[in-house]
Amino acid sequence: MFNLIEAGERNALMVGLREVEFELEDLPAGFDGFRVLFISDLHIDGMDALAAKLVEIIDSADYDICILGGDYTFKYGREEMVDHSNLKMIAKKLAAKSRVLGVLGNHDMYKVAELLDGIGVEMLINENTSIEKDGEKIHIAGIDDSHYYGTDNLSQADAGIDDISFKMMVGHSPERLVGAQGHGYGLYLAGHTHGGQVCLPGGTQIVRGASLPRRFLKGKWKYGKMSGYTSNGAGTSGIAVRFFCKPEIAIITLRRKA
């Protein structure tokens, strides 16, 4: 007899590497071809077998920097889970391979940030940093959770960045896209929605997970002059199943628009 739960659990472990490319105005020439490994919504304590699959993908991936999009744990308030060996293992592997930046999500306590920071992940909590390459620079700002805690502060995250530089925003949820576009960001990376996680055939979300039109809740999108990407996420929440919505790790290649 067909077991729906078992099928959903198998689907949830079919994590794939998705290649995404953006042509971006004002991207410095030195960053043409720059590759970002974007991992969101690990919820690593939700499925024991997930960690091994993620390590396999990370080992095979070719990229320049890693960005973590938040929701590292499965259940709210489970502070004891931040010491989970799988989360430590993945973070150490990433930090050994490249520079790693991260933000917090709505499932994360501050203790998660302390753990990741101790391993070498640069946590951006309403802060920004810069990346230099071939004598040129881009800025990456990270905001705190805007969906559940409402502790994001875009003006604080943007502080000190000049108006002519290319800027990338990282937020756990895409729900601050209006403010990010207003502050002149060229690219916004987000997760949180899991792409719907359990969708109708064809990928239509049943539950949106964020107060935005569906076109912003998965994949590539555009808002004004700003480009964006909302990841399906690598893990699951609520129940460890997926239907018509594959889990993913994204490699986002930046291209300078001619």
DSSP 199: B
Beta 136-142 vs 122-123: how paired, if at all? unpaired
CATH of domain 4-256: 3.60.21.10
| Residue 179 backbone class (left: φ over 0; alpha: ψ -120 to 50; beta: rest) | alpha
Interval 78-97 mean pLDDT: 79
Q: 40 pLDDT exceeds 80? A: yes
Q: Mean pLDDT, the chain, as a whole number?
A: 93
Asked if 172 contacts 105 with a C-beta cutoff of 8 angstroms, the reply is yes
Sign of CA dihedral 166, 250, 19, 223: negative
pLDDT of residue 80: 55
Cα separation, 191 vs 143, in Å, equals: 13
- The H or E element that residue 38 is part of is strand 34-39
Cα 4 from Cα 239, distance rounded (Å): 12
Strands 226-230 and 219-223: antiparallel
Per-residue pLDDT, 2? 63
DSSP state of 72: -
For residue 29, the surrounding DSSP H or E stretch is: none
- How crowded is residue 237: how many other Cβ atoms within 10 Å of its Cβ? 20
pTM (two decimals): 0.95
Q: Write down the pLDDT at residue 98.
A: 97
* DSSP H/E element including 89: helix 85-97
Distance (Å, whole) CA 158 – CA 154: 6
Flag whether pLDDT at 19 surpasses 60: yes
d(CA 254, CA 180): 18
pLDDT of residue 207: 86
Return the SS3 of 118. helix
**pLDDT tens, residue by residue, 48-66:** 899 999 999 999 999 999 9
pLDDT at 81 over 70: no
